[in-house]
Amino acid sequence: MSTVDIKDVTKVWPDGTVAVDHVSLDVKDGEFMVLLGPSGCGKSTILRMIAGLEDPTEGDILLNGEPVLDLAPRDRRIAMVFQDFALYPHMSVSENIGFPLKLSGVEPVPRGEQIGNVASALGIGDVLARKPGQLSGGQRQRVAMGRAIVRRPGLFLMDEPLSNLDSGLRAELRAEITGLTRELGVTTMYVTHDQAEALTMADRVAILRRGVLQDIGTPTEVYGRPATLYVAAFLGAPRMNLLEASVYVHLDRYIALNFGEQALYLPWTDIRARAVAHYHGERIVVGMRAEALTPVAPDAPGDVLHGRIRYLEHHGHESLAYLDIGATAIMVDEMGSAVHDHQVEVGAFSKISAAFSRLTGRPSNGAAPDREETKQESVLGENGRHHRRPAELAVRLAPYPAVSPGHPLAVTVRMDSLHFFDDRGDRIDVGWR
Ligand code: ADP
């Protein structure tokens, strides 16, 4: 039985860096809690404070309802697995796993039994006699986990344990880790910067930005109703489309969301209409995930946006079209690699196409984003820096569709799946969480 209560904890490093900023969260007995956020947002610092490797500057930490800040790390019944796990190279797998038991004086026979149980649960029962140098990366990581859990800790802390492994192995081990911790019923806190890992593994996810807790909930809650623009932008692939809209209320009829060249109309019957109506005459951010958009015939009635395909990405099981719809997108800073890579990709693409034009004397393909157009405008909101840039609406298509860059495309929008955020990046909604 193990619960964790983090109460208003702050960590300021001697150089003044605020790594963790008034974070409160509780982890229930047996729960698998994932701490998610980009590098440097304070995830590891939180784990290290729970383990007793660092002291909070302010706040309190309770394990099983008891304050533990005065307890030494070894007295907290915590096991920790890091990304750079270190096994003893001269010991066999069996000796590595059994080492903590040997230290605490467990006799050889029961020790062997416990090692065998843990090793077979982790699928490494057949390599017990080998040395770490004779194992694959995935097997070594399993041994490190085995060594951590063999003493049946009350709490399991894992800091990016899979990030050194290749993607196939990561997916396999994800399922194994969650399976094992659930089977043992051990409370687990797991740190990652990978949103897919968080959504697939967690009972609940806590999302951090610059040491501040942004949102906490089940994967369905944080994905379905993200508390802030940052959370909306961080979760999901492709990223949520975030469009700037000006709001105009037509009393008793609808609320127009104007995206520049086109508009969508939120009916008064929508449960969130009143909340959005407060922003009459102002600009908000409207979020739409690719799954809320379905390609339709250009003359289809209803809530339809029209655009032209800028470029296509083929992913095998589906293709993604990025549409120019004459709207402005809001980009959120510190998204980690995914959004950033995409921006770099677009930048690199326009460089290549400019070089192509210079060499051939011909204008480059219409699909190439125009350099001027992709220039970003920076906006400092209260919740961090956002950028404006021409929107490229991500839309899911069948694999290898019969369209190409430059083609027009219309999509119907599921209005009840839209997300709304104010200029501080906070969710506009009613009666939620
Ligand atoms: P994450 O685990 O999310 O990548 P960390 O918790 O490691 O982030 O770091 C949070 C912030 O604290 C970062 O700005 C990092 O540079 C800083 N930091 C981490 N450890 C130390 C330290 N020992 N001394 C000073 N600053 C640190």
Q: Does 303 map to a domain?
A: yes
Residue nearest to atom 11 of ligand 1 (CA): 19
Structure pTM? 0.86
Same domain, 246 and 393: yes
Say which CATH number the domain at 225 has: 3.40.50.300
The answer on pLDDT for 283 being more than 90 is yes
> Does residue 24 have its Cβ closer than 6 Å to ligand 1?
no
pLDDT of residue 52: 94
Domain finish residue from 175, 209, 231: 231
291-346 tens-digit pLDDT: 999 999 999 999 999 999 999 999 999 999 999 999 999 988 766 433 333 333 34
Dist. CA 40 → ligand 1 center (Å): 6
87-97 tens-digit pLDDT: 899 999 999 99
- What's the total number of domains in the chain? 2
Categorize the per-residue pLDDT at 414 as very low, low, confident or very high, splitting at 50, 70 and 90.
Answer: very high
The answer on pLDDT for 371 being more than 90 is no
Higher pLDDT, 377 or 84: 84
Mean model confidence pLDDT for the chain: 87
Atom of ligand 1 nearest to the CA of 211: 10
Domain span holding position 252 = 234-421
Domain finish residue from 201, 231, 261: 231
pLDDT of residue 77: 87
Report percent pLDDT > 70 for the chain: 87
Domain finish residue from 177, 196, 231: 231
Secondary structure in 3-state letters for the chain? CCCEEEEEEEEECCCCCEEEEEEEEEECCCCEEEEECCCCCCHHHHHHHHHCCCCCCEEEEEECCEECCCCCHHHCCEEEECCCCCCCCCCCHHHHHHHHHHHCCCCHHHHHHHHHHHHHHCCCHHHCCCCHHHCCHHHHHHHHHHHHHCCCCCEEEEECCCCCCCHHHHHHHHHHHHHHHHHHCCEEEEEECCHHHHHHHCCEEEEEECCEEEEEECHHHHHHCCCEHHHHHHCCCCCCEEEEEEEEEECCCEEEEECCCCEEEEECCCCCHHHHHCCCCCEEEEEECHHHEEEECCCCCCCEEEEEEEEEEECCCCEEEEEECCCEEEEECCCCHHHHHHHHHHHHHHHHHHHHHHHHCCCCCCCCCCCCCCCCEEEEECCEEEEEEECCEEEEECCCCCCCCCCEEEEEECHHHCEEECCCCEECCCCCC
Q: If you average pLDDT over residues 155-171, what whole number do you get?
A: 86
Identify any residues that bridge with 264 across adjacent strands, giving them in sequence order.
Answer: 257
Q: Does 264 map to a domain?
A: yes
Same domain, 40 and 153: yes
> Does residue 19 have its Cβ closer than 6 Å to ligand 1?
yes
Atom of ligand 1 nearest to the CA of 35: 3
Residue 257 in contact with residue 245, Cβ under 8 Å?
yes
Instruction: Report DSSP state, residue 407.
Output: -
Report the range out of 304-308, 361-365, 369-373 with the highest average pLDDT.
304-308
Q: Does 432 map to a domain?
A: no
Q: If you average pLDDT over residues 349-355, what whole number do you get?
A: 45
Dist. CA 53 → ligand 1 center (Å): 13
The answer on pLDDT for 17 being more than 70 is yes
Atom of ligand 1 nearest to the CA of 15: 25
Residue nearest to atom 26 of ligand 1 (CA): 13
Residue nearest to atom 20 of ligand 1 (CA): 45
> Does residue 41 have its Cβ closer than 6 Å to ligand 1?
yes
> Does residue 49 have its Cβ closer than 6 Å to ligand 1?
no
Find out whether the peptide bond into 238 is cis, omega within 30 degrees of 0: yes
Q: Does 344 map to a domain?
A: yes
pLDDT of residue 366: 38
pLDDT of residue 334: 66
Residue 93 in contact with residue 127, Cβ under 8 Å?
yes
Same domain, 150 and 291: no
Same domain, 269 and 160: no
Same domain, 156 and 271: no
Categorize the per-residue pLDDT at 420 as very low, low, confident or very high, splitting at 50, 70 and 90.
Answer: very high
Higher pLDDT, 312 or 379: 312
pLDDT of residue 332: 87
pLDDT of residue 251: 83
Give strand ranges (E) for 178-327: 187-192, 204-209, 212-217, 241-250, 254-258, 263-267, 283-288, 293-296, 304-314, 319-324
Q: Does 433 map to a domain?
A: no
Report percent pLDDT > 90 for the chain: 67
Same domain, 38 and 71: yes
71-85, 214-228, 283-297, 360-374: segment of lowest average pLDDT: 360-374
Residue nearest to atom 18 of ligand 1 (CA): 19
Same domain, 287 and 319: yes
Q: What distance in Å separates the CA atoms of residue 344 and residue 366, rounded to the nearest whole number?
A: 19
Q: Does 426 map to a domain?
A: no
Atom of ligand 1 nearest to the CA of 48: 6
> Does residue 37 have its Cβ closer than 6 Å to ligand 1?
yes
Residue 411 in contact with residue 295, Cβ under 8 Å?
yes
* 127-139 per-residue burial string, b: 16 or more CB within 10 A, e: under 16: bbeebbeebeebb
Q: If you average pLDDT over residues 256-278, what whole number do you get?
A: 94
Q: By C-alpha distance, which of 228, 276, 269, 227 is closest to 252?
A: 269
The answer on pLDDT for 413 being more than 90 is yes
> Does residue 35 have its Cβ closer than 6 Å to ligand 1?
no
